[in-house]
Amino acid sequence: MTQAMNPRTRVTPQLTLETMAPLDRLARETEHFDKHYDQEAAQGIAPLNDFDRLRYTAPPATTIYPREFFYHLLTPLAGKDILEIAAGNGIDASICAHNGANVHAYDLSEKSIDLVRRRARVNAVDQHVHTQVTGNFNDAFPGKTFDAILGYAALHHLPDLAELSQQVYTRLKPGGVAVFAEPVVNSKALDRLRRLIPYAIHEMTDDEQPMNDRAITDFARPFDRIVRRDFQLTSRLWPVFPSNWPLAVALHKLDSGLLKLPFMRRFATVVVLGLYRKG
């Protein structure tokens, strides 16, 4: 039997499994990345080397490397206001600032943001890197819009991507671009193997969920144009031999050839997206 409620009774919202789950996930992600970036900072922070400064300044559209293509979609950066989602260790914030961008970077991890700030100082770009600790896109630098919004291995850590994609579109200036590089799994066999061979692209957590073609299509829905390239088949093995640069080059070249075959694209493990808003 249902009891009648006294209309003067104040009802206090109760936490449910549905409301607690995102909070638990956020706490786990924060704990994981605080520990990870604290350890990375303890190893010291080296300035960007000349090779990386040159490599990511104006890479060609034909590059065989995902991070170079990521920067190809962002360039030119000079004079642009950009927002970085999940700034991580701050390398991308420093690269973008080195190339003339005014960078706004946020992350849920205080240790991450401390590392972003320290790396910016080491690279003498700290006047162009603005930071905030938050895990909420709308809370990051409220009221500002951007020429570019970027995230490197960020989306698959975040809940409710459908809502986020509309928020990203809204905060892009007309003519702006959102650029993302993400782990992707379109093969069930690869999904079972993915944790046996670490992605080179990102630090893995228990709560992450790699994207697939359906998730990418849904995320891109608000945008007016999309540019996409798939990467990493055999080159996924390169992190096992991180000091062997000739092997890395050979594997990326092999992948570039294989991924020209349409049926091979479902086996790619990294996707780079450029999502555009009309001018």
Would you kindly state where each structural domain of the chain is located, as residue ranges? 21-276
> How would residue 192 be classed by pLDDT, with cut points 50, 70 and 90?
low
- In this structure, which topology does domain 21-276 adopt according to CATH? Rossmann fold (3.40.50)
- The answer, yes or no, to whether residue 18 has pLDDT greater than 50, is no
pLDDT of residue 201: 47
CB burial of 254-263 (b: ≥16 within 10 Å; e: otherwise) equals ebbeebeeee
Q: Can you tell me the distance from the alpha carbon of 115 to that of 109, in angstroms, rounded to the nearest whole number?
A: 10
Backbone angles phi, psi at 201, to 5 degrees: -80, -25
Mean pLDDT of the chain: 86
* Confidence label for 197 from pLDDT (cuts 50, 70 and 90): low
47 three-class SS: coil
pLDDT at 242: 76
The pLDDT, as a whole number, for residue 2 is 35
